[in-house]
Structure 1
Amino acid sequence: MAEIPLTLIFLVLTVIVAVSTMVYVAIAERERKETLQRVSPDLEASRLAERLLLNEDATASSRLASWLRDRMPESFVSDTSNVHKLVHAGFDGAAAPVIFSAVRIASALLMPVLSFVAAPRDNPVWLAVSVVMGLVVGVAGPQAVLDRLAAQRQERIRRSVPDALDLLVVCVEAGVSLDAAILRVARDLSNVRPELALEFAQVVRRVNAGMPRDRALLSLSQRTGVDELRTLVASMIQTERLGTSIARVLRVNSESLRLRRRQKAEKRAAEAALKMIFPLALFLLPALLAVILGPAAITVIGQLGSLSQ
């Protein structure tokens, strides 16, 4: 048995220590942030305002995007097919499309090279399969990750809409204007629902900048891509045009959203029994048959063997 080189052991130990240190620092930083939020609840709201008022020209991502825009092909720079998906995933900056295009190019080039380096050299078939798989992962991987991030963010926003509507109803019924109520809800939800709080703050920011309220609300549904918010925005715009009670509309929408979420949960619970049939038939039933019928089969085979002798 060949001895393991000391250099390899030292490298593995170094990597383990580095990863453990990073995990410890991340956990400690998370605990520190939670402590600061409990001590000062308005801290997250101030960070939310800083993010909304931050000049994009001063951020590192904008400088990186400018550097990449000067060096990338024009076809990749002008590609706007994933702009809406990036906004749905939370990457709403002007630098996001350029950086995502650069990530796609780097992934398509690096993954086949890494697969070629890691694949065994003595087997040409496995080498070719590894390179092809690396190429497929490099080309389709960034888009799949982006779709996954967008779906997760939309699901988080969808779950937080009923709570936000309840807070809006309370604020509006207390006599607060709709813009002030949206801003208040954004501040209150900044700790627990940061995605929806940021979108509400964007609506208030655009209204204060002079954009009509209906257009600002429409941008809310377009930026999130959530059907529940699209229905809510349509109801709010129609209510504002007709002059009806906004609190009643918000309350009806909140109740309908909770009913729809309850029905969706009941549907999933009803489908669970059907989905469990195939795993039970493939994995559990053979093991039960082996445990129950195994001793009897061994006994029968032994008896048949003694009778034949």
Structure 2
Amino acid sequence: MSALIFGGLATLTVLVIGALGLVLWMVVQGSRQRAHLSARVAPRMTATDLGDNAAAAPQGLIDRVAKSGKAIEGWVDPENVSATLMLQAGWRSAQAKVAWYSFQGAVPLVGIMLVIAYWLFGAEHPQKMLFLLGGGFAAFAFSVLIPRWVLRGAAEKRRARVRSEVPLFVHLLILLFEAGLSTRQAIASIVKEGGGVLPELGTEFEILLRSIDAGADTDESLKALGKLMDVEELSTVLAVLRQVDRFGGEVREPLLEALSVLEERRSLTLREKVNLLSGRMTVVMVLFFFPALLIFVAGPAFMSIIKALGDVAG
């Protein structure tokens, strides 16, 4: 019975590896066909171009891996959430996108190579096929999940940095509005002069200014920025700016009210962190400090009692 089970597992493993090999062969053949068509359309290279072609070979490999990563993303992320996360993480350049897709395409290849290496060089034992199937499933699952975790972590860290810059951004806005600047002029001044103190918001507002200069509506651009970053504090301030830009009126008092709300919320967050830290420190103290204190205080008395009992017994 066990022989039949192991035989079935071996057959299933061979089928899985064969399917993966077929997929990789199809990807390679498709890349070769595209390269052949590009070679037919592009002009012929001279002898002096051979060095550049040899130097570009690793780049072609990276492009193929990146295309595989793009295909994997289209399969695991049909709602295109990764695009929003990449924008939140600040990965807008072509190099950053190629690096991300290459990483996403390389992780499954590494998992497959590890499973094949274990199959070929792992120690022989009765449960090897079972471990191989379990390891293959785990490698497949983690190869899909690890890039998601990395991207979400990068986006969350940058959103936290944006959240920390919002109070200073509000203070600068109040000063600039009191100086008589309009909404666009205030944002342009922050981008030009405050890029060092507001690196993350400065980058986002620089893109915002380019879209406004290209003809986009200020209200819609501010709304799109708040929706993209998904930071509640920033969305509150941008809502005030949208209201002032659309209807006019006093801007100092709404910004001060929003700033007071932000400061109160930040104070509550800090108190929560302090409470969690005090609880963790209590656990550390109970585990490490109290035993040492008991040994130092009660150790001599305990040793004296043991010595007295030993003398009585002797």
- Give the structure-2-normalised TM-score: 0.66
Report SS of the residue matched to 2:249. Answer: coil
Assess if the C-alpha contact under 8 Å between 1:162 and 1:254 holds in 2.
Answer: yes
Seen in structure 2, the aligned counterparts of structure 1 residues 75 and 113 have a Cα distance that, compared at 3 Å, is: closer
> In the alignment, which of 246, 252, 259 is matched to residue 247 of structure 1?
252
Greater Cα offset, 209-218 or 237-246? 237-246
Q: Does 1:258 align with 2:263?
A: yes
Cα distance, 1:91 vs. partner? 1.3
Assess if the C-alpha contact under 8 Å between 1:240 and 1:246 holds in 2.
Answer: no
Assess if the C-alpha contact under 8 Å between 1:86 and 1:146 holds in 2.
Answer: yes
Greater Cα offset, 81-90 or 271-280? 271-280
Look up the equivalent residue of 2:306 and give its one-letter code: I
Which residue of 2 is the match for residue 169 of structure 1?
A: 174
Cα distance, 1:226 vs. partner? 0.9
> In the alignment, which of 211, 221, 228 is matched to residue 206 of structure 1?
211
Cα displacement string for residues 192-223 of structure 1 (whole angstroms, at most 9, x for unaligned residues): 32111011112211111111111110122123
Q: Does 1:108 align with 2:108?
A: yes
- Give the structure-1-normalised TM-score: 0.67
Seen in structure 2, the aligned counterparts of structure 1 residues 236 and 114 have a Cα distance that, compared at 3 Å, is: same
Which residue of 2 is the match for residue 267 of structure 1?
A: 272
Separation of aligned partners in 2, 1:266 and 1:175:
37
Cα distance, 1:276 vs. partner? 2.5
Cα distance, 1:249 vs. partner? 2.3
Cα distance, 1:228 vs. partner? 0.5
Which residue of 2 is the match for residue 89 of structure 1?
A: 89
Report SS of the residue matched to 1:82. Answer: helix
Assess if the C-alpha contact under 8 Å between 2:167 and 2:259 holds in 1.
Answer: yes
Cα distance, 1:184 vs. partner? 0.6
Assess if the C-alpha contact under 8 Å between 2:167 and 2:262 holds in 1.
Answer: yes
Which residue of 2 is the match for residue 287 of structure 1?
A: 292
Assess if the C-alpha contact under 8 Å between 2:111 and 2:139 holds in 1.
Answer: yes
What is the alpha-carbon root mean square deviation over aligned residues?
3.7
Which residue of 2 is the match for residue 224 of structure 1?
A: 229
Separation of aligned partners in 1, 2:65 and 2:173:
43
Cα distance, 1:115 vs. partner? 8.4
Separation of aligned partners in 1, 2:61 and 2:218:
34
Which residue of 1 is the match for residue 185 of structure 2?
A: 180
Separation of aligned partners in 2, 1:107 and 1:172:
50
Assess if the C-alpha contact under 8 Å between 1:86 and 1:96 holds in 2.
Answer: no
Report SS of the residue matched to 2:81. Answer: coil
Seen in structure 2, the aligned counterparts of structure 1 residues 73 and 138 have a Cα distance that, compared at 3 Å, is: closer
Seen in structure 2, the aligned counterparts of structure 1 residues 297 and 122 have a Cα distance that, compared at 3 Å, is: farther
Cα distance, 1:295 vs. partner? 2.9
Alignment of 1:18-29 (within 5 A): none
Gaps of 5+ in 1: 1-62
Seen in structure 2, the aligned counterparts of structure 1 residues 279 and 247 have a Cα distance that, compared at 3 Å, is: same
Seen in structure 2, the aligned counterparts of structure 1 residues 188 and 205 have a Cα distance that, compared at 3 Å, is: same
Seen in structure 2, the aligned counterparts of structure 1 residues 294 and 116 have a Cα distance that, compared at 3 Å, is: farther
Structure number with bigger Rg: 2
Gaps of 5+ in 2: 1-59
Look up the equivalent residue of 1:215 and give its one-letter code: E
